[in-house]
Amino acid sequence: MTVQAIPENPHFQGIYRRTADSACVVAVAPRSFMSVPEVRAVLGELLEAPPHRFVFTVLHSGEGLEDDAVSDEVVAARKFHRMRSPEGPVESRLAERIHLTLPDSAVLSMTDDIKDLGGDSLLCLELSEAIADIWDVEIEPVDVFRVDSLAALAADVEAGR
């Protein structure tokens, strides 16, 4: 396993390795808050790979950037962010609505959850209201916050229609 440092940048430090199929496994330690979609966009630029070609984890204070942070064992054991594009009209419309709250360069995945987006009670309230307006489905803000992924939120919308 050949591990390399992510090129110097103002956003985060990190390490990565390429897999046999040319995907990237990445661990990053942010220098300031960034949402997961923002990290995904910066990684795509720095590693010159499209966002669907890598998985990454965000290390927290006290976690090191050692080579084992991107090992197969760690990838299997902890949360790594994987890219998945919206599928179907509900996921697509939900992603469009959520993207309005993110910087233009951010790369949103249906595997993201509200916490990955930097979500707070205001975002949950906005999404709850948007879901009611668009699909006439009532989902409480606290339930928006608790879903495991945007895909699961879209499934809840579908179930409520």
* Mean pLDDT score, 89-100: 96
pLDDT the model gives residue 83: 95
Instruction: Write the CATH number of the domain with boundaries 88-160.
Output: 1.10.1200.10
Q: Give the whole-angstrom CA distance, residue 95 versus residue 92.
A: 5
Parallel, antiparallel, or unpaired for β 4-5 and 54-58?
A: unpaired
Q: What percent of the chain has pLDDT over 70?
A: 100
- The pLDDT value recorded for residue 119 is 83
Residue whose C-alpha is closest to residue 110's, from 129, 91, 124: 91
For residues 25 and 53, give the distance between their C-alpha atoms in angstroms, rounded to a whole number: 9
Tell which CATH classification among 3.30.365, 1.10.287, 3.40.1350, 3.90.1570 matches the domain 4-77. 3.30.365
Q: What is the Cα–Cα distance from 86 to 90, expressed in whole angstroms? A: 8
Q: Is the model's pLDDT at 41 over the cut of 80?
A: yes
Digit-coded pLDDT (tens) for 101-156 = 999 999 999 999 999 998 889 999 999 999 999 999 999 999 999 999 999 999 99
Domain boundaries, the chain: 4-77, 88-160
